[in-house]
Chain A
Amino acid sequence: AQRVTQPEKLLSVFKGAPVELKCNYSYSGSPELFWYVQYSRQRLQLLLRHISRESIKGFTADLNKGETSFHLKKPFAQEEDSAMYYCALSFSSNTGKLIFGQGTTLQVKP
């Protein structure tokens, strides 16, 4: 079955430190991977997706098909990055359904 795993519930770092939020997936075909972010009291919003290969707010993520991973990285964390981050997988191009991981709370301390 298709699954997304985010092993860390909480990641706490100091401002300026590098951040890596882990995401692994299980799917035998060609997945589409996303990172969604939810800031405090705001709605879920797309941060980035692997096919666009963009850097958004300093975050990047590379799809590693060999390791079935799509880790989210930022070299220098900022306090405003504190939020809940969800990795999500889409594989059904007919319906657009997303499968989410458990989410990781990123806490950036001053």
Chain B
Amino acid sequence: EPEVTQTPSHQVTQMGQEVILRCVPISNHLYFYWYRQILGQKVEFLVSFYNNEISEKSEIFDDQFSVERPDGSNFTLKIRSTKLEDSAMYFCASSRDTMSEAFFGQGTRLTVV
């Protein structure tokens, strides 16, 4: 069964450093998403991406964040200058269309020290 794959599973970075979280969505899916979950809190929407552009973003997704689909398979989330409060589990998801089930990756735990 096809799966959404995220790498790395855990990343530790120093405050102020740039990080790139990588995702390989399911191959025939057209809609891609990033969510995050700070420890003990709810899963929060960050951004949705379709047809090589952002279709919606949340207030959390400020200028420090960017997304890219650099080739036909990867979907990346970049945090330009990490802050302590960026420490969270980041989930990538993809779906065939906006009404179909979203399939989630296993998450990347980002720890900013």
Q: Does A46 contact B (CB under 8 A)?
A: yes
Contact (Cβ within 8 A) B107 A43: yes
Question: Interface residues of A, CB < 8 Å — how many?
Answer: 22
Residue numbers in B under 8 Å from A103 (CB-CB) = 42-43
Contact (Cβ within 8 A) A98 B45: yes
Contact (Cβ within 8 A) A46 B101: yes
Contact (Cβ within 8 A) B98 A94: yes
Q: Does A74 contact B (CB under 8 A)?
A: no
Question: What is the minimal beta-carbon distance from B98 to any residue of chain A, in angstroms?
Answer: 4
Task: Tell me, in angstroms, the Cα distance from A32 to B101 when the chains sit together.
Answer: 11
A97-B48, A98-B45 known; A49-B102 Cβ under 8 A: no
| Chain A interfacial positions (CB closer than 8 Å to B) | 32, 36, 42-46, 49, 86, 90, 92-103
Given contact pairs A43-B104, A98-B35, A103-B42, a sample of 14 additional A-B residue pairs in the complex whose CB atoms are under 8 Å apart: A32-B99, A43-B3, A45-B104, A93-B98, A94-B56, A95-B56, A95-B98, A96-B48, A96-B95, A96-B97, A98-B43, A99-B45, A100-B42, A100-B44
